[in-house]
Each structure stands twice: as structure tokens, then as C-alpha cells.
Amino acid sequence: MKISFIVPSRNNLKYLKQCVQSITYNYGTEHDIVLLDDASTDGTWEWINSLEQDNIIKYRNEGPERVGHTILYDVGVSLSNTEVFTIFHADMITSPEHIPNSLKYLAPKTVVAATRIEPPLHPPGPEKIVKDFGMEPENFKWAEYYTFCKENAPLVRGISTKGIFAPWLMYKKDFEDINGHDPLFAPMELEDSDIFNRMHLAGYNLIQARDSFVYHMTCRGSRFKNGLEIEKVIPLQDGTFWHKPKDSEEYTKLRQLKFREWWRKWAMDVLHDNDMYPVVPSRIHKSAIIYGCNINSLATLEPWFDNIIIDCDASSYIEQEQPNTLYNLKDKINNLDATVNIRVTFNVSQFTNKSYEVLKQMNFILSDAEEGASYEIDIFKIDVFKVVNMNTDLIKNLIGKK
């Protein structure tokens, strides 16, 4: 089966060259490669244009502002000519085992993740293999990597677990059925966790093929885009170490902003089990009446509710925060309509760290709420008028943004 590799890139040329080299070496023109340049200034587009392979589809965001890989993934899928595609990072290196062993698990409503092999630049996890075949293209050990994949694939042949992360592949139609990635998370950060949650809610089967290997140099297009600057070396219980690189300022700022968007949409933290399978309670619509509020407490509490009534002037908060969100804060704050579904009432003066932890668990708490009931949990008085499950709208990115 022919598939398309969807590969966005921004100022990431040396990794992109290595990525394309690995796809071409392993698969020739058997698969398409959709290369999407995001207004790069490092010669990326000139290099892409120099490629004469018939199986390469080329696209450029002229900029000058980037749109981000959240948007470009979906552009790439729309440009692809195959039934199946894989989301692939520019700092990844495929293997002969990658696509064939992933396709063995593919079926409608199924998403198949490969097994990442990574250098020790993130904490280890049961879903990955930590092994250093090189941290930069110029010192990558191609032969050792391919030998490792060839020797280890038979040892885990036919073994799969429940989990999802990049790189993953699926049918194009199934991707379109859930409306792709949510622009809420453009240009990047948490777009993957968002779509994985939505795939889970849509009932898709999320599988990791343990004998499908891809090497990942880890976050070279975003988190560590300025090069590896190791902040500290952290020992592990087995006597090995992982090296914590310094995050880029761009990544740090975006992650803070996008977590606030995440809380507005999901009203929970990013949760998954040890194998990276999403943990997603029902998303319950809820409103709040908050006494003793001020601008600082509003900044903490606003993302966690769908509507809020407060007893302070929110105008300065709205003016400051609105440029950072796609949600309409004027509609959200001090606009509690008569059709309120679940009302949570509390006083900020009683709010503690424990209260915040309870707030983060509210979707779990309310999943079995009975209409007409009232509850008191920690400082929160909860009145249930009607339980409105927002999962269907979440799946297709229809939650109320401006």
C-alpha cells in the first residue's frame, strides 16, 4: 500500500535533509513525501525546489509569519494523493521496518504509532527505546541504527500495545471525519495531545506497533531548535543517565499560552497512562459564581469554566488576555445565561492548592452527576440543573471559540 509522509519544516534544513534521505533510501519512490516549508529563511525552500523526485509534493507558506506545523499537517494531508498518510517530523529517521510493520495493524478507525528510538534527551518511558545513535545529522550512525532495527524487530514481532504519539499513520478519511487538527493550538504545542484525545473519544483504535522503528532526534524544530545546550545530567535508578537540554524561549512561552487554551477546551490536564494511551473523562459543561474575586485569581480560574460570574471588574483582564486566546472572553465572563447547566459556587478566600486539584478533577467528579442534585466538595457548592456532555463537539473542533 502506498502512503504519504507529511513533513512540515521551519528553519530545520539539516534535519529535513536527513529525514528525506532516510525515506528515499528505505522506500525509493514507493511512497509520496509531502514537504511543507513554513516561511523558512535557511534555504529550506530552495533545497526542496531542487529535488526532482516525482514522488515529492512541495508546498510553501510564503510568510513572513509562520503558520506552524499544526496548520501544515492538515495542509499536507489535503495535498496527499494516497488513502493513508503518516505524520512525520523533520527530525525523524525512518527504517525498513517502520511502514510495513505499522501497516499490518492498520484498519478503518485505527491509528498506528511506531516505536520511537531516542537519544537520552527526555526521561525514559515504556513506550520508547532510549539508545544513542547520534544527536546531530553529522554524527548519525546509520549502519548501527539499521542493524539494531533489523536484529530487534523479530524479537517483538506481532507485539502491540495501546498508545499514541508521533509518528502515527491512519486513513485520510478517518482524519477528515474528525476535522483534523484544531487551529486553537497553532502554531504548535499540545496539538498532538488534543487530536489524540479526540481520536479516543471518537472510538478510534490507538495502537503502538512495537516492531515498527523510527529514530527521533527529539524536538529539533521547536523545543531545542537553537541547538543542544545541556542544562544538567540526571541519573536514573538503573545506573544510566538522561541529559536535560535547555528549552527555547519560544517553546516555553508557547507552551504556557497553549496550556491555557487546553484548559479552556478540555477543563483538565493532559492525562495518559504509562503506555501513552489518553485518559479522557467526559467533558461536562459547567459555569461558576465566584465571590471575592480579583484579577490574579481570575487569571487562575477563568480557563476552567465555560462561563463565570464574578464580583470584580474584569475589563483589564479581558484586555490583557484576549489577544492570547481564540475564546471570546467578553461572552464568557459575567455573562451567565438562564440555561446554566451545572453551577459551581465558591469564595476565592477559601481557595487552596487542594481546591485547585479538585478543580482539575471536576470532569471526573461530575461524570456521574444526577440532574437536580446538589453536592459540596471541598469549597465548592455544585448545583446540577442539567448534565450537558460536550464530547461530540470536542471531537470535531466545534467548541465555542470566537
Asked whether residue 173 is domain-assigned, the answer is yes
Cα separation, 206 vs 194, whole angstroms: 14
Q: Residue 322: which domain range? A: 287-395
Asked whether residue 207 is domain-assigned, the answer is yes
| Residue 4: pLDDT over 80 | yes
More confident residue, 170 or 388: 170
**CATH number for position 92:** 3.90.550.10
Q: 218, 234, 266 — which closes off a domain?
A: 266
Same domain flag for 115 and 149: yes
| Residue 398: pLDDT over 80 | no
Same domain flag for 215 and 86: yes
Place of cell 513525501: 33
Q: Are 385 and 338 in contact (CB under 8 A)?
A: no
| HEC profile of the chain | CCEEEEEEECCCHHHHHHHHHHHHHHHCCCCEEEEEEECCCCCHHHHHHHCCCCCEEEEEECCCCCCCHHHHHHHHHHHCCCCEEEECCCCEECCCCHHHHHHCCCCCCEEEEEEEEECCCCCCCCCCEECCCCCCHHHCCHHHHHHHHHHHHHHHCCCEEECCCCCEEEEHHHHHHCCCCCHHHCCCCCHHHHHHHHHHHCCCEEEEEEEEEEEECCCCCCCCCCCCCEEEEEECCCCCEEEEECCCHHHHHHHHHHHHHHHHHHCCCCCECCCCCECCCCCECCEEEEECCCHHHHHHHHHHCCEEEECCCCHHHHHHHHHHCCCCHHHHECCCCCCCCEEEEEEHHHCCHHHHHHHHCHHHHHCCCCCCCEEEECCEEEEECCCCECHHHHHCCCCCCC
The whole-number average pLDDT for the span 158-174 is: 97
- Residue 337's pLDDT is 60
Quote the mean pLDDT of the chain.
Answer: 94
Asked whether residue 277 is domain-assigned, the answer is no
Q: Which of 61, 83, 57 minimizes the C-alpha distance to 3?
A: 83
- Residue 299's pLDDT is 95
The CA R_g of the chain, rounded to the nearest whole Å, is 23
Cα separation, 290 vs 193, whole angstroms: 30
Confidence of residue 249 (pLDDT cuts 50, 70, 90): confident
Handedness of CA 265, 266, 271, 275 (dihedral sign): negative
- Residue 221's pLDDT is 81
Same domain flag for 251 and 298: no
Same domain flag for 254 and 114: yes
Asked whether residue 191 is domain-assigned, the answer is yes
Q: 236, 266, 296 — which closes off a domain?
A: 266
- Residue 275's pLDDT is 94
Asked whether residue 274 is domain-assigned, the answer is no
| Residue 402: pLDDT over 70 | no
Question: What percent of the chain is predicted at pLDDT more than 90?
Answer: 83
Which residues lie closer than 8 Å to 3 by C-beta, 6 or more apart? 31, 32, 82, 84, 85, 86, 99, 103, 169
Same domain flag for 170 and 244: yes
Letter for the amino acid at 260? R
Q: 266, 300, 321 — which closes off a domain?
A: 266
Same domain flag for 253 and 360: no
| Residue 55: pLDDT over 80 | yes
Same domain flag for 116 and 199: yes
- Residue 165's pLDDT is 95
Same domain flag for 294 and 372: yes
Asked whether residue 41 is domain-assigned, the answer is yes
Each residue of 144-161: pLDDT tens digit? 999 999 999 999 999 999
Same domain flag for 89 and 200: yes
Asked whether residue 281 is domain-assigned, the answer is no
Q: Are 348 and 356 in contact (CB under 8 A)?
A: no
Each residue of 74-111: pLDDT tens digit? 999 999 999 999 999 999 999 999 999 999 999 999 99
Each residue of 265-298: pLDDT tens digit? 999 999 999 999 999 999 999 999 999 999 999 9
Domain count, the chain: 2
- Residue 336's pLDDT is 61
Each residue of 172-212: pLDDT tens digit? 999 999 999 999 999 999 999 999 999 999 999 999 999 99
Q: Are 379 and 182 in contact (CB under 8 A)?
A: no
| Residue 373: pLDDT over 60 | yes
Same domain flag for 251 and 345: no
Same domain flag for 58 and 150: yes
Asked whether residue 282 is domain-assigned, the answer is no
Kindly report which listed range (164-173, 335-344, 360-369, 381-390) carries the lowest average pLDDT score. 335-344
| Residue 338: pLDDT over 60 | no
Place of cell 528553519: 11
Same domain flag for 292 and 210: no
pTM exceeding 0.85: yes
| Residue 399: pLDDT over 80 | no
Alpha-carbon distances, residue 288 vs 236, 342, 351, 367 (angstroms): 44, 8, 14, 17
